[in-house]
Amino acid sequence: MLLAALSGLLLCATLTSNLAIAADTDSPLFSADGYRIDAFRAPVPDAVDGATTLTTAELQALLKQPDVVLLDVLPAPVKPKNRPANLLWLPPDRYDIPGSHWLPNVGYGALSNEFERYFKVNLAKLTGGDKARPIVIYCLADCWMSWNAARRAGTEYGYTRVYWYPDGTTGWEGAGMSLEKRVPVDMDGL
C-alpha cells in the first residue's frame, strides 16, 4: 500500500515537472550557430557535422588501433542549490569506458572562456598536437553534450578524425562491456 502511494506521488511529480517543461516553449533549443543549448537529455540525431558516428561494435574495432583518444564529456555533478550548508554532499562517482579522459562541461552549447580553453588545451595535450589522431567523444545515450563536443572538435577546432559514440556509457555497459571509475582531468594550470 505504501509502495503504491509513493509510486502515485512520484508519477504526479513527474507529470507536473513534464508539464512545466512543456509550458516553457519560449526557450530555444539551439543557438544561432547550431549548438544545442537546452534540454540536453533528449533523443539525438543519427549524425553530427565534423564527426563519424560509431556503433558499439565499430567502437570496439576502432579501439584495437593504437593512439585512439577517448573523451567522456558528461558534465560534472553540481551540488543541489537548496541543500543545507551543514549537510555533507558527496558527488556521485563517474564510471566510463576504460582508458578514457573525463573532460566535464565541454559539451554545453555555449562554453565559457575557461571551458573553451580547457577543452582546446586538453585536446592538444591528449592528441600530442596531432589533429589527425582519432578522437572518440561520448557521454550517455540520448545526451546532446557529446553531440555538441564532437561538432565543436570537428568543425571549429580542426580535428579531422573525430568519432561520435552516441550510445555512450549507457550503450557500452548495456553491451556487457566494463566501465571504470574516473575523475575529471584537472583544470589546474589552465
Domain ranges of the chain: 48-77+93-184
pTM of the model: 0.83
- Is residue 62 within 8 Å of residue 134, measured between CB atoms? yes
Structure confidence at residue 114 (pLDDT): 95
Q: What is the DSSP string of 84-137?
A: -TTS---PPPEEESTT-EE-TTTTSSS--HHHHHHHHHHHHHHHTT-TTS-EEE
> pLDDT 10s per residue in the chain (190 long)?
333 333 333 333 333 333 333 334 456 999 999 999 999 999 999 999 999 999 999 999 999 999 999 999 999 988 888 988 889 888 899 999 999 999 999 999 999 999 999 999 999 999 999 999 999 999 999 999 999 999 999 999 999 999 999 999 999 999 999 999 999 998 875 5
Phi then psi for 101, rounded to 5 degrees?
A: -120, 130
CATH of range 48-77+93-184; options 3.40.250.10, 1.10.357.10, 1.20.140.90, 3.30.565.10: 3.40.250.10
- Is residue 72 within 8 Å of residue 96, measured between CB atoms? yes
Helix or strand run (H / E) with residue 169: helix 168-174
* Euclidean distance between CA atoms 188 and 190, whole angstroms: 6
